[in-house]
Amino acid sequence: MSHRNPALPMARSLDRRTFIRMAGAGAGAAALAACSNGGPATSGSATLSYRIWSASQLDAMRALVDAFRAQHDGLQVDVEVTPDDQYWTKMEAAATSGTLPDVFWMHARQFVLYAQNQAIRPIDDVIERAGVDLGQYPSVLVEAYQYEGRQYALPRNFNLIGLWYNRDLLDAAGVPHPDDTWSWQDLESAAAELTDEKRGHYGFAAPLQGQTGYWNAVYQNNGLIISDDLTRSGYDDPATQQAIDWWTGFLRSGSSPSHQQLTETAPAALFQSGKLAMMFEGDWNASSFAADPALAEQVDVAVLPEGARRACIMHGSGNVVAATTKNPDQAAALVEFLASKTAQDIQSKMGASGPPSVTGSIDAWIATNPAFSLDVFKRQVDDAVLFPHSRDTTAWQELETRFLAPLWAGETDVEAATTELAAAMNAVLEREQG
């Protein structure tokens, strides 16, 4: 079972043929962009469409658009919300018909497909002209939206994973609260002490989840999910296999609810009910946990425990410009503004979308939920590992669930499950290169 970050829309598994019809339109627009000369035309009468996938962030995005319009006379920006479970289906249809919105939210899982098929425009000229300092963003997020040496997006936010824990349960068991000194061994020991199966209490959750689960352990052990060039699976790497063995060890020892239990009830739900003492979960939970006053008094968050090294999966969305936009300079100006500190400060103070991409604006986001030690996410930025992805990420994520579920259920061993998964994933990646 895969746990989905609610800040991200459902992704679809696509192939090159699906996008081939849009490539012609995209290539033509991109070629025009490459040949464009002269200064930007960022004012004057024009209306831009800006599409997002989160209704809960609509007010914040409108506030950002209002601030942008105040700097650009005559420009109008219509913010459109497409529900997250429909977002990529509708974006695919729009790309195919050449009707993509001028500016829209992008995430790493889909980025390579859109960039490779020239559905979006590179923005290097805008970055250079506006003097955008890419160093103000986490480097892995900047790199996430690069393709063949060109930058296609500026990041708008990021997500990291923390070790959330129930202070009351730890105090009752005499277990010290996790801190920056904790190792894998400390987590194992604490989880065992906090487990009382007769009462239905568990020390830790080890679900079959990537971003909020075992992917973090894999990179903490110097393993990999996918090679840097996106052509090879890392599941048959010994370091990856060792990390997965450690993670599933919580299931075998009984310190974690079973795979079946975690399939039926998400770790966050068990945590909120007081049945789970600790879990790996995302920064996006801060707002929902804070909304429950009783829970907010009981829980906090720490950095992830250290394995062979520190590592934490980072994801973040970006803003991109459609290759088919009729107002490329104005659209690029909007993307540049949305990634500015001015915009990020507004976004942070309104509590929208997790930590902002501009590192200098993170403190404002931290202050939105003072009940929790949210500074741990700021401290983990330097430990960030980019969310593993390729051109068709969803295709091999589906394979992860298929091949690893028997391992989580105790029906096979680590080597057999991961070796089979690696072979199947490599076949998907080979097709991507074709």
At 359 the pLDDT is 80
pLDDT at 366: 92
Burial of 295 by CB count in 10 Å (0-12 exposed, 13-18 middle, 19+ buried)? middle
pLDDT at position 19 is: 55
Residue type, 152: Y
8 Å CB contact between 109 and 225: no
Torsion angles phi and psi, residue 219, rounded to 5: -75, -30
Q: What is the pTM of this model?
A: 0.88
**Confidence (pLDDT) at 23:** 46
Q: How many of the other CB atoms lie within 10 Å of CB of 430?
A: 11
User: pLDDT tens digit string along 378-432?
Assistant: 999 999 999 999 988 999 999 999 999 999 999 999 999 999 999 999 999 999 9
Distance of alpha carbon 244 from alpha carbon 400, whole angstroms: 12
pLDDT of residue 39: 45
Q: How many residues does this entry show for the chain?
A: 434
pLDDT at position 409, please?
A: 98
**Three-state SS across the chain?**
CCCCCCCCCCCCCCCHHHHHHHHHHHHHHHHHHHHCCCCCCCCCCEEEEEEECCHHHHHHHHHHHHHHHCCCCCEEEEEEECCCCCHHHHHHHHHHHCCCCCEEEECHHHHHHHHHCCCECCCHHHHHHHCCCHHHCCHHHHHHCEECCEECCEECECECEEEEEEHHHHHHHCCCCCCCCCEHHHHHHHHHHHCEHHHCEECCCCCCCHHHHHHHHHHHCCCCCECCCCCCECCCCHHHHHHHHHHHHHHHHCCCCCHHHHHHCCHHHHHHCCCECEEEEECCHHHHHHCCHHHHHHEEEECCCECCCCCEEEECCEEEEECCCCCHHHHHHHHHHHCCHHHHHHHHHCCCCCCECCHHHHHHHHCCCCCCCCHHHHHCHHHEEECCCCCCHHHHHHHHHHHHHHHHCCCCCHHHHHHHHHHHHHHHHHHHHC
Q: Are 258 and 251 in contact (CB under 8 A)?
A: yes
Q: How far is the C-alpha of 317 from the C-alpha of 116, rounded, in Å?
A: 18
Q: What is the mean pLDDT of the chain?
A: 90
Domain 16-158+315-357 shares a fold with domain 161-314+389-433: yes
pLDDT at 43 over 60: no
Q: Where do the domains of the chain lie? A: 16-158+315-357, 161-314+389-433
What are the structure tokens assigned to 194, written together? 């906090």
| pLDDT for 371 | 92
For residue range 83-131, list pLDDT tens digits in order.
999 999 999 999 999 999 999 999 988 999 999 999 999 999 999 999 9
**Cβ neighbours around 172 below 10 Å, total:** 12
pLDDT value, residue 319: 97
Q: What is the CATH number of domain 161-314+389-433?
A: 3.40.190.10
The alpha carbon of residue 121 and the mean position of all alpha carbons in its chain are separated, in whole angstroms, by 22
Fold topology of 16-158+315-357 = D-Maltodextrin-Binding Protein; domain 2 (3.40.190)
**Which residues, 6 or more positions from 414, have their beta carbon under 8 angstroms from its beta carbon?**
241, 244, 245, 248, 407
What are the pLDDT digits (tens) for 200-257? Answer: 999 999 999 999 999 999 999 999 999 999 999 999 999 999 999 999 999 999 999 9
Residues 222 and 215: their CA atoms lie apart, in Å, by 11
Can you read off the two tokens belonging to residue 273?
């009910």
- Angle 108-116/393-408 helices, nearest 10 degrees? 150
Can you read off the two tokens belonging to residue 430? 């080979």
pLDDT band with cut points at 50, 70 and 90 for residue 42: low
Q: Are 145 and 318 in contact (CB under 8 A)?
A: yes
Residue 21 pLDDT exceeds 80: no
* pLDDT the model gives residue 434: 74
Q: How many CA atoms lie within 13 A of 328 on its CB side?
A: 24
